[in-house]
């Protein structure tokens, strides 16, 4: 069986009956029986977050919506929780802190079970921190040095469902272009994908399609002809670079992750 779809959301998606992004997730989730499991581990207020998603998913017609309570690595190695995971047709990973997801779930039995379920067709959605964790790498932190306004980006390891990608979220709304560019500079094998709020990419079979209200940016340095990274005494970095490819996509446009090229909307000739 082919891998399931990944719906990777830039955060702050509309939680109402008309919300395009969550409607798309429910449409995908209900192609199979099993219902939706909500994983709120990234959040500091998991009960409040879970209650909000339970309500909207039930309002959208999903009969079975359950919370996966996972607060420690011991929980993530619990066979009963892994068994609960396997009973769903789709998993929704909430926002919060992606480092918490990595620390509590990375390289556990739950991580292995989630990967196995996805490879067997389970749909997985992640919003905000839940989006960032789905790549092989993720931005853990990006701090501006107070003395010279330089940006220092810290990279961590994600769940690894998408090789060669770093996913950033709340992208335009929080002005994250510089940090994503810094994250991929000098790494020609890695693309950066910045997803705006209330916007998502639906990934399947090596390409994605944009869903939602705003924009997705793809930063590709594979054709770069010059990169110079200068480090200062305080550990911050300054970039000089040339030859990067920038793709900006809106609703309905598609992108081939293998060839790194734009695919037009369905029904529109390139």
Helices in the chain by DSSP H: which ranges?
20-29, 46-59, 73-76, 79-86, 98-105, 109-119, 129-132, 177-184
Within a 10 A sphere around the Cβ of 160, how many other Cβ atoms?
A: 15
Q: Is 199 exposed, middle or buried (0-12, 13-18, 19+ CB in 10 A)?
A: buried
Catalytic residue (choose from 89, 128, 182, 236): 128
Tell me if residue 170 is catalytic: yes
Catalytic residue (choose from 5, 170, 182, 236): 170
Half-sphere exposure of 69 (CA within 13 A, CB side): 3
Judge whether 167 and 134 are in contact, CB under 8 Å. Answer: yes
Judge whether 146 and 181 are in contact, CB under 8 Å. Answer: no
Sorted by sequence, the CB contacts under 8 Å of residue 252 that are 6+ apart come out as 209, 210, 265, 266
Distance CA 150, CA 240 (A): 13
> Which residues belong to the active site?
128, 170, 197
């Amino acid at each position: 069986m082919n891998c399931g779809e990944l719906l990777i959301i830039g955060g702050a998606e509309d939680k109402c009956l008309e919300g395009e992004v969550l409607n798309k997730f429910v449409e995908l989730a209900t192609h199979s029986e099993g219902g939706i499991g909500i994983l709120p581990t990234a959040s500091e207020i998991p009960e409040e977050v879970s209650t909000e998603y339970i309500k909207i998913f039930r309002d959208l017609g999903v009969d079975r919506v359950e919370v996966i309570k996972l607060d420690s690595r011991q929980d993530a190695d619990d066979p009963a929780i892994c068994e609960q995971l396997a009973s769903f047709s789709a998993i929704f990973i909430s926002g919060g802190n992606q480092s918490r997801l990595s620390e509590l779930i990375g390289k556990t039995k739950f991580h292995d079970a989630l990967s196995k379920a996805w490879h067997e067709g389970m749909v997985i959605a992640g919003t905000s921190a839940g989006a960032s964790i789905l790549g092989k790498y993720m931005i853990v932190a990006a701090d501006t040095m107070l003395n010279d306004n330089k940006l220092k980006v810290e990279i961590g390891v994600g769940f690894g469902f998408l090789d060669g990608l770093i996913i950033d979220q709340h992208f335009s709304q929080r002005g994250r272009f510089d940090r994503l560019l810094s994250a991929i500079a000098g790494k020609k094998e890695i693309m950066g994908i910045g997803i705006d709020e209330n916007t998502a990419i639906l990934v399947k079979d090596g390409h994605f399609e944009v869903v939602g209200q705003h924009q997705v940016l793809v930063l590709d340095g594979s054709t770069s002809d010059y990169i110079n990274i200068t480090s200062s005494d305080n550990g911050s970095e300054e970039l000089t670079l040339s030859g990067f490819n920038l793709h900006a996509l809106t609703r309905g446009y598609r992108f081939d992750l293998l060839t790194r090229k734009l695919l037009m909307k369905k029904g529109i000739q390139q």
